[in-house]
Structure 1
Amino acid sequence: MVKSIRLKQLELGVCYYPEHWQEELWEDDFRRMRELKMSTIRVGEFAWALLEPQEGVFEFGLFDRALDAAHRHGLKVILGTPTATPPAWLTHKYPEVLNAAQDGTLYRHGMRRHYNYNSPKYRELCAIITREMAVHFQDHPAVVGWQLDNEFNCETNVFYAEADHAAFRAWARRKYATLDALNEAWGTVVWSQTYTDWEQVHLPRPTVADSPNPHLALDEKRFISDSVLEFAQIQADIVREAAPGHYVTTNGMFGHLDSHALTDSMLDFFSYDSYPQFASISGSTEAKPLSDRKWSLNLSAVRDVSPNFCVMEQQAGPGGWVNRMKMPSPRPGQMRLWTYQSVLHGADLVLYFRWRTATVGTEIYWHGLNDYANRPNRRVREAGEVGREFAAIGRKIAGTTYRADVAIVRDYDNEWDGEFDIWHGPLTGRSTHAWYKQLQYRHIPVDLVYLRTQAQDQLAALQKYKVLIYPHAAILTPETAELLSAYVESGGKLIFGARTGYKDERGQCPMQPMPGPVAQLCGITVEEFTAITGTAAAPALRWTQGGSGPQAWAEGFNDILAVEDPAVEVMAEYAEEYYAGRPALTKRRHGAGEAWYYGAAFSEPVVDGILDLLGVQSPSADWLSVPEQVEIGIRADDHRSYVFLLNYGEAPAAIVLSERRTELLGGTQIEGRVEIPAYGVLILE
């Protein structure tokens, strides 16, 4: 079952903290929100110390009054369970709830997310505050939904408290049943690591050279994800029991968490926090960087969890804490552009973070719509423009979904294993970026799809795409290989990269030729391989099919391929090094489709060459000419289709339409040469 937000209208909202402001401000704040066409506010996710100032003493009066005021102004409310910020009385009385560094040092009160998921006491106290809130607010007419906690695994996604070690031991015992099975899975015969008693089993602890057992390190991430799911399930069950008429969601997409499983098991839809400047503040030396446009890749990952989702926090101003993350102010039009970036990729409800910039605390530089002075400003006016547009067009867009014929494939095991394994992990980010960048600049919409062994109808989900890119699937099971083979046989084109298929689900390397379970599908084996690192220069490629391709080099890693099937076509060779003339890129037809294997990390020129060989074009190529600085995406259903044009450039962008189209935001007919302003948006019916 698809877990999506289900709205009949695009809706706009904002995060609001009534506890931060004098009560005299509330009425004016809510009135102005409605003037901006906002429908929804999120409150309460950090307010535990106010809701339960002493253990067992609950005071809801402040939020009763705030929610009553919001309801008077016609605002809907999403309530956050406040478990991301345990109060001082709690951590002082029960220090066992605190998370710890790997060396055992406790993280003390003074920040947020300083708890551990596996403390029995913390689970008990979280259940109590969640139940008290859910029962108290179950019938409030303003409340429509609940956000569980806030940004699971943000700030830190590793946990080493004593409760976590104990829970991991129990988790490992459930998974493996016997120490013999655990020792075999973790390969503990190496370096005399064999466990002879369950009490010897811990999460990774400080080691010489800071290098724990890699199979243990992979299971650590699986355990952390399961711990989050257990913790969240407690709250979700309570809310559903006490307030069955409200929806349940949570926000963020952070490491060591299977967000798909989280959503499948307990949420009505997934929510995300969208801050596009995170993609650009580190600076880039590459040619033509995607910058804030790269954030569309993150939104694509969210879309794979919930095709229609909520953006619980949309960047609304310059951002940063007092001591880190210094982001500049959005330029005129950028905030609106980022809002439509979220909408294009599936958001039907967008809440800006936040209504007014905090005057105290760590986030005093994380600016909201209103500045400290609370006077009208450019960002407020821009939000009002979006609100009016949502009101005008929102019924047409809501419920439609993003459409793409190309998808980049991921899976959690390879993500988590790749954090520790430098032989394949860094290749994935490099290749994903190259593919996404070139698909963006060629105006080819692309999805991001997670392979999940427990998912239903996975083959049918893959068959929606003409092309799949699965860059560096080091961990590859026979079951996944069978699924991918069926996809190719049915007509799909599948592209692998170096280091594919050399590990099993335990992270062990089976004694078989690489690429392991897909060697027969690809018709090749890896005869030899080498890392391209240090003083080693990436060898040039020689294209052997389709004429001369772009000048390109085989970067990152080189698998030296041996053709095992006469049906294999060599599409490119290594032109240099001791393996000059050996295959670097191959294609094998299988059924109605094709399996491609590239023995290196993908770069922009290599991606361009492969796209040319595949003949993949923009879906609007026959009627629309658009410069690179504009992102093209399509939201559609069975009856209607809308083409979004987002100009990320600081200069206007000229487009040319060869046929007349209705521009939805302006309500006008356009044809021929049209100019999109800097940071402008067009939506074509």
Structure 2
Amino acid sequence: MRKAQTYKWNQMELGTCYYPEHWDSKLWGEDLRRMKENGIFTIRIAEFAWNKFEPQEGVFNFEFFDKFMEIAVDEGMKVILGTPTATPPVWLTEKYPEVLNCRMDGSPFYHGMRRHYNYNSKIYQELSARIVDKMAAHYGAHPAIIGWQIDNELNCEVDEFYSESDTLAFREFLKKKYLSLEKLNTAWGTIVWNQTYNAWEEIYVPRTTIHNSTNPHQTLDYIRFVSESAIAFCKMQSDIIRKYKKADDFITTNGMFGNLDNHKMQDQCLDVYTYDSYPNFAFCLEENPLNSDDLNDRKWSRNLMEVRSICPHFGIMEQQSGANGWNTRMEAPAPKPGQMMLWAMQSIAHGADYVSFFRWRTATVGTEIYWHGILDYDNRDNRKLTEVRQIWERTKAIGEMVGAEYQASVAMLQDYDNTWDSQVDVWHKRLKKQSEKEIFVAFQINHTPMDIFNITDETQWEELAKYSVLIYPHALILNEKKVHTLETYVQNGGILVLGSRTGQKDENGQCVMTPMPGLLASLTGTNVREYTFVGPADKAVTMVWGDKSVDTGVFNDILEVASPDAQVLAVYENNYYSGSSALIERKEGKGKVLHFGGTFTRENTKELMDYTGVLSPYASLIELPESCEIVVRKKDGVEYYIVLNFAAEEQVINLKSSLVDMDTKEEVAGKIMLQAYETRVFC
């Protein structure tokens, strides 16, 4: 069972990221006043300012930020204070080079960028704990502070760590997990290619090899180790801050990045989770927009679904306000008129009750001179600032929606074992990446709100019961605890949809010598006799389902019925396994399970949604074109319908019943024209 979220915003608020150390102090007061005039009443500061607090080792000086905080108090500005451990200062890395992270070949990342440290250096842990303690002791009772941000974007830029400190810590991690080398050698399959270890000192973090191929079972454990290292570093800081902070002040960090169990970090370290949302990445030249995904910036809704799975009522610490780019990489267009509102409302629709724009003013120096803020270099009012004010007016109009729950009757299951296994197994990666993308697209274009749910060994079936349908696309790794939870969910009326490769591996990433779907076989009443990728020279494989021919994706398990109460719903229509089972249903208790032998596409996902009864649940109320997303949040029995137009052209929606437009407070019905990128909220 997940730990309950311990902090929620009681009203919708806007903020921005501000760097007083970048600007003449004469601008500070004027900047804060301009923010307030346009609806911004909270700022995040100091996450990269270690040298301002400790210009020399052991020499602490709070005069600079004390002066700024006095102005913040005078202006009534609320402050989120960041700990500055994402960027250790030069004096630190020069004196203690062991704090530097390293490449896989052991060569260090030198000073000059950011996030160049490793979590496991003992001296870095000590110095980080000391600066956090000094800051928390000094500012913990400060009246302007409402929250604390730990570090900045843990595991951003790089989520792999290969320093000597990491090797030493990895050995201790493995000793605690396996207790003996015999157990480790078995779990890692070290008999292959003479990898058997006879001493703990022979074990290292993954190192450079031919083709950079590594033992997949070792690498899976290494990713788990990286996650635990980041969480321990975060918890060290949150434990310190809790000794000093005011009772109502929250602790957060901003993410979400790889090789990190963000759910566990939220539960163990944080009061609330915040995310950095940059939908404009879809249009970066570096991403080749001429061949971009068909949903472009709309695909950020999938990220926000995952954030919501971590923390249902989250904040946005960095919301796109301008073109993103560095002097060394990333070139992107400016947001078009209306897109700032669209992207802010995209965040709010998916659960954000606090939205902070990055940044107040575009930097005039440094690597991020092209990561544009609300204001440009010239510091003049502009259309982006006007749009911020419009967003403020919108948040006031829909303020009663704060804390409303996102509504979805279907969820896609994920878990970290399978996510991380897909990083070390390219066969798994292709299936997972394609299916999860296509499932999301299918739900979006068919206007079916969905959740992402992270299933763990502690998950109770009651947590899943609010969903009538669960899709577990490719659960290669299974264990008995998760299987028991899923079986109980089905027995109590749930519908579980499984895809190919289910049950192929154990928790070490080793393939099991039992027919797939492995531990779920008794529930599905099926087994897999044979399987194959659909090759580039093959014709697309389809299945006959009723009177329809439906594609089955890039990989096919050839299924067999293994239980008399299992029913074949569809058979493959071509390739050498034509006529073999492709989709089998079995009822269990009050529910049922669908075992699908293929990978998910938008077409077959739509058919599965239709069959299970969750397709387009609001079609009788609102008719929408494919380019529009609908999100529904509910509070105190009232449903709020957020419609987002991601198209650069006008779109027509049709309200089939009268609803209240929350901006105008007027009842509306019938056809309504949405301008390019326009958003509307009804109740």
- Per the TM superposition, whether the score is higher than 0.5 is yes
The equivalent residue for 1:256 is 259
Aligned to 2:392: 387
Quick one: distance in 1 between partners of 2:457 and 2:10?
Answer: 33
Aligned partner of 2:342 in structure 1 is 337
| Residue pair 1:3, 1:270 contacting (<8 A) in 2 also | no
Query: Contact 1:653–1:678 (CA<8 Å) still a contact in 2?
Result: yes
- Alignment map for 1:48-59 (pairs within 5 Å): 48-59=50-61
Whether the aligned pair in 1 keeps the contact of 2:446 and 2:626 (CA below 8 Å) is yes
**In structure 1, the residue corresponding to 2:254 is in which secondary structure?**
coil
2:574 — aligned with what? 576
Match of 1:365 in 2: 370
Corresponding residue for residue 415 of structure 1? 419
| 1:659 Cα deviation after fit | 1.6
Q: Is the 8 A contact 1:37 1:391 kept in 2?
A: no
Mapped to 2, the partners of 1:89 and 1:610 lie a distance apart of 59
Instruction: Report the equivalent of 2:351.
Output: 346
Q: Is the Cα contact below 8 Å between 1:45 and 1:82 reproduced in 2?
A: yes
1:134-154: CA deviations, max 9, x gaps?
111112110111000000000
Q: Structure 1 residue aligned with 2:607, among 598, 606, 609?
A: 609
**Residue 276 of structure 2: which of 268, 273, 276 is its match?**
273
Q: 1:307 to 1:161 in 2, by over 3 A?
A: same
What residue in structure 1 maps to residue 179 of structure 2? 177
State the alpha-carbon separation in 2 of the partners of residues 279 and 552 from structure 1: 30
| Code of the aligned partner of 2:326 | W
Tell which deviates more after alignment, 2-11 or 254-263: 2-11
Offset at residue 287 of structure 1 (A) = 10
- Per-residue deviation, residues 576-620 of structure 1 (Å, max 9, x unmatched): 111110011121111111211111211122112222322323232
The structure-2 alpha-carbon separation of the partners of 1:6 and 1:174, relative to structure 1 and needing over 3 Å to count, comes to same
> Could you list the per-position Cα deviations for residues 399-428 of structure 1 after superposition, in whole angstroms to 9, with x for gaps in the alignment?
112110010110001111101101212211
* Cα distance, 1:48 vs structure 2: 0.7
Q: Secondary structure at the match of 1:215?
A: helix
The answer to whether the Cα contact below 8 Å between 1:263 and 1:305 also exists between their aligned partners in 2 is yes
Do 1:168 and 1:223's aligned partners in 2 also have CA atoms closer than 8 Å? yes
1:399 corresponds to which residue?
Answer: 403
Partner of 1:303: 308
Indicate if the aligned counterparts of 2:7 and 2:250 stay in contact, CA closer than 8 A.
no
- What TM-score do the two structures reach when normalised by structure 1? 0.97
Tell me if structure 2 keeps the 8 A contact 1:5–1:348: no
Helix, strand or coil for the counterpart of 2:133? helix
Cα distance between partner residues in 1 of 2:657 and 2:239: 53
* Deviation of the 1:286 alpha carbon: 7.6
Q: How does 1:60-459 map to 2 (within 5 A)?
A: 60-245=62-247, 246-281=249-284, 282-283=287-288, 289-394=294-399, 396-455=400-459, 458-459=460-461
Q: How far apart, in 1, do the equivalents of 2:299 and 2:543 lie?
A: 28
Q: CA deviation at 1:535?
A: 3.0
The offset of 1:203, in angstroms, is 1.0
Larger mean CA deviation between 279-288 and 625-634 belongs to 279-288
Q: Distance in 2 between matches of 1:525 and 1:572?
A: 15
Give the counterpart letter for 1:97 in structure 2: V
Contact 2:552–2:599 (CA under 8 A) maintained in structure 1: yes
Cα shift readout 1:556-577 (whole Å, capped 9, x = no counterpart):
2111111112222222211111
* Equivalent pair of 1:3/1:305 in contact (CA under 8 Å): no
SS at match of 2:243: helix
Give the partner amino acid of 2:113.
M
SS at match of 1:423: helix
Tell me the residue number matched to 1:30. Answer: 32
What is the identity, as a one-letter code, of the residue corresponding to 1:43?
A: I
Partner SS, residue 544 of structure 2 = strand
Supply the AA of the counterpart residue of 1:561: L
Distance 2:491 2:596 in 1: 20
3-state SS of paired residue (1:117): coil
Q: What secondary structure is seen at the aligned counterpart in 2 of 1:123?
A: helix
- Mapped to 1, the partners of 2:108 and 2:146 lie a distance apart of 37
In structure 2, relative to structure 1, the CA distance for the partners of 1:153 and 1:287 (3 Å cut) is closer
Aligned partner of residue 6 in structure 1, secondary structure: coil
The offset of 1:285, in angstroms, is 7.2
**Higher mean C-alpha displacement, 52-61 vs 219-228:** 52-61
Q: Which amino acid aligns with 2:233?
A: F
Letter in 2 for 1:666: T
Question: Which residue of 1 is the match for residue 679 of structure 2?
Answer: 681
Aligned residue runs from structure 1 range 483-498, under 5 A:
483-498=485-500
Residues 474-527 of structure 1 show CA distances to partners (whole Å, capped at 9, x for unaligned) of 001122111111111111111111111110111112211111011121111000
Aligned to 2:473: 471
Q: 1:66 and 1:123, CA in 2 relative to 1: closer, same or farther beyond 3 A?
A: same
Contact 1:5 1:310 in 2 (8 A): no
Residue 111 of structure 1 aligns to a residue in which SS? Answer: coil
Q: Judge conservation of contact 2:101–2:108 (CA < 8 Å) in 1.
A: yes
In 2: Cα distance, 1:452 partner to 1:573 partner: 33
Alignment partner of 1:343: what SS? Answer: helix
Q: Counterpart in 1 of 2:16?
A: 14
Q: Quick one: distance in 1 between partners of 2:292 and 2:44?
A: 40
Equivalent position of 1:539 in the other structure: 541
CA distance in 2, matches of 1:537, 1:159: 43
Q: Which residue of 1 aligns with 2:563?
A: 565
Matching residue of 2:522: 520
Distance 1:530 1:262 in 2: 38
Q: Distance in 2 between matches of 1:631 and 1:212?
A: 42
Q: CA RMSD in A?
A: 1.4
After TM superposition, give the deviation of residue 130 of structure 1 in Å: 0.3
Give CA-to-partner distance per residue, 1:141-200, whole Å, 9 cap, x none: 101110000000000000000000000001000000011111111111222211111101
1:538 is displaced (CA, Å) by 3.2
Deviation at 1:658, TM superposition (A): 2.1
The Cα of 1:640 is off from its aligned counterpart by 2.0
- Paired letter, 1:491: G
Do the aligned partners of residues 286 and 46 (structure 1) sit closer, same or farther apart at CA in structure 2, a change above 3 Å counting? Answer: closer
Q: Distance in 1 between matches of 2:587 and 2:139?
A: 60
Contact 2:298 2:646 in 1 (8 A): yes
Contact 1:491 1:593 in 2 (8 A): yes
Provide the C-alpha distance between the structure 1 equivalents of 2:410 and 2:23, rounded to a whole number of angstroms.
48
Please tell me whether the aligned partners of residues 118 and 163 of structure 2 are also in contact (alpha carbons under 8 angstroms): yes
Q: 1:359 is paired with a residue of what secondary structure?
A: coil
Structure 2, unmatched stretches of 5+, are: none
Gaps of 5+ in 1: none
- TM-score (normalised: structure 2): 0.97
What is the Cα deviation at residue 280 of structure 1?
Answer: 4.5
Q: How many residues align?
A: 678
Structure 1 residue 56: deviation in Å?
0.8
| Mapped partners of 1:276, 1:328: distance in 2 | 12
